[in-house]
C-alpha cells in the first residue's frame, strides 16, 4: 500500500512513521508513506497557501489553487482509491473504516489547518472526510498519523503475530479482555486462576465473558443491535 500525505507541516509527520510497527512495515516494503509539503504549490514566493475568508470572520482558509494543483500533480503519479480530508466535522473514524481502508492500494490524505479548506475543494476533489474524535486539534497531521497507524498495522505481514490484530478491541464490536503476564502473584494481587489452568477452552470462554462485561460497563453503545 502507498499513502501520500499533503501537509503544511511535514516535520510533524517525521517521527510517527520512523519507529516500531510502521517502521517495520516500511522496511518490509508493505507500506510506503510519502509526505508532501503543500507549500511546494504555494501561490507566491512567500509560500502562501491560505487567505482570509469571504464574509469576514477570524481565521484563515486554505486556498483552492495550491490544493487543487497539488492533488492533480499527485494524481498523475498515482491512481488514488480515496482522497481523504482530515477534519473534525468528518465521519467518525472507527475500526470498520480502518479495515476497509487497509484493503486499498493508494490513498491520499490531506491535513487541514487554520479554519479548514475552501469548500469547493471538499466538494470536487475529496472523496472521504474523516474525524478521529469530537475534539479539535490544531491541524490534521496527528489525525493523519492516527489513520496511517490504524491502517498500517492491519496490512498482512506487518504484525509479527499474524492473528493478534484479529483480537484487538473493536474487531468484533467488543472491547478486548484484560491481559496479565508474570508474576502470577504481584503484591498479593493474583492472576485469575482460570488463566493458569492450561485449559484453552475455559480460557477462551473467560475471555469472551470478560470482553462482554467490559463492553457492557464502558461502551454499551457498541452492544446496541
Ligand atoms: N483536525 C483537527 N481536529 C481533527 C479531528 N478531531 N479529526 C480529524 N482532523 C482534525
CA distances for 58 relative to 115, 134, 222, angstroms: 8, 22, 39
SS3 for 27?
A: helix
Strand partners, 91: 130
* The three three-digit cell numbers of residue 69, written as one number: 494543483
Distance 19 CA to ligand 1 centre (A): 23
Does one domain contain both 103 and 174? no
Sign of CA dihedral 156, 160, 161, 165: negative
Does residue 20 register a pLDDT over 90? no
Cβ atoms < 10 Å from Cβ of 160: 8
| Domain, as residue range, for 188 | 169-223
**Residue 9 CA to its chain's centroid (Å):** 17
Q: Which residues line ligand 1 (CB under 6 A)?
A: 86-88, 112, 131-133, 135-137, 140, 143
User: Which residue CA neighbors atom 4 of ligand 1 most closely?
Assistant: 88
- Which one has a higher pLDDT value, 180 or 171? 180
Decide if 160 is inside a domain: no
Does residue 124 register a pLDDT over 70? yes
Total number of domains constituting the chain: 2
Does residue 168 register a pLDDT over 90? no
Distance 66 CA to ligand 1 centre (A): 21
Does one domain contain both 199 and 129? no
Say which residue the cell 466535522 belongs to: 89
Does one domain contain both 114 and 6? yes
Say which residue the cell 486539534 belongs to: 137
Distance 204 CA to ligand 1 centre (A): 37
Banded pLDDT at 169 (limits 50, 70, 90): confident
Tens of pLDDT, residues 139-154? 999 999 999 999 999 9
Q: What is the CATH number of the domain that holds 212?
A: 1.10.1270.20
* CA–CA distance, 108 with 74 (Å, rounded to integer): 9
Does one domain contain both 41 and 118? yes
Q: Which atom of ligand 1 is nearest to the CA of 112?
A: 1
Does one domain contain both 89 and 131? yes
Strand partners, 110: 6, 85
Distance 213 CA to ligand 1 centre (A): 31
Decide if 86 is inside a domain: yes
Tens of pLDDT, residues 63-91? 999 999 999 999 999 999 999 999 999 99
Decide if 63 is inside a domain: yes
pTM (two decimals): 0.94
What confidence score (pLDDT) does residue 162 get?
Answer: 55
Does residue 112 register a pLDDT over 80? yes
Banded pLDDT at 206 (limits 50, 70, 90): very high
Amino acid at each position: 500500500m502507498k499513502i501520500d500525505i499533503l501537509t503544511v507541516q511535514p516535520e510533524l509527520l517525521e517521527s510517527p512513521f520512523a519507529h516500531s510497527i510502521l517502521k517495520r512495515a516500511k522496511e518490509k516494503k508493505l507500506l510506503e508513506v510519502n509526505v508532501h509539503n503543500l507549500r511546494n504549490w504555494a501561490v507566491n514566493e512567500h509560500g502562501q497557501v491560505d487567505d482570509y475568508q469571504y464574509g469576514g470572520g477570524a481565521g484563515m482558509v486554505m486556498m483552492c489553487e495550491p490544493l487543487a494543483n497539488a492533488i492533480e500533480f499527485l494524481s498523475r503519479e498515482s491512481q488514488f482509491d480515496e482522497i481523504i480530508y482530515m477534519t473534525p466535522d468528518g465521519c467518525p473514524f472507527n475500526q470498520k473504516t480502518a479495515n476497509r481502508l487497509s484493503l486499498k492500494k493508494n490513498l491520499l490524505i490531506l491535513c487541514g489547518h487554520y479554519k479548514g479548506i475552501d469548500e469547493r475543494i471538499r466538494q470536487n476533489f475529496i472523496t472521504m472526510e474523516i474525524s478521529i474524535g469530537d475534539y479539535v486539534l490544531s491541524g490534521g497531521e496527528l489525525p493523519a498519523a492516527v489513520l496511517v497507524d490504524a491502517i498500517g498495522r492491519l496490512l498482512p505481514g506487518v504484525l509479527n503475530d499474524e492473528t493478534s490484530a484479529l483480537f484487538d478491541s473493536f474487531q468484533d464490536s467488543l472491547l478486548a479482555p484484560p491481559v496479565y503476564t508474570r508474576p502470577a502473584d504481584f503484591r498479593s494481587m493474583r492472576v485469575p486462576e482460570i488463566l493458569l489452568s492450561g485449559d484453552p477452552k475455559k480460557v477462551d470462554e473467560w475471555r469472551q465473558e470478560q470482553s462482554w462485561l467490559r463492553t457492557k460497563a464502558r461502551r454499551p453503545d457498541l452492544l446496541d443491535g
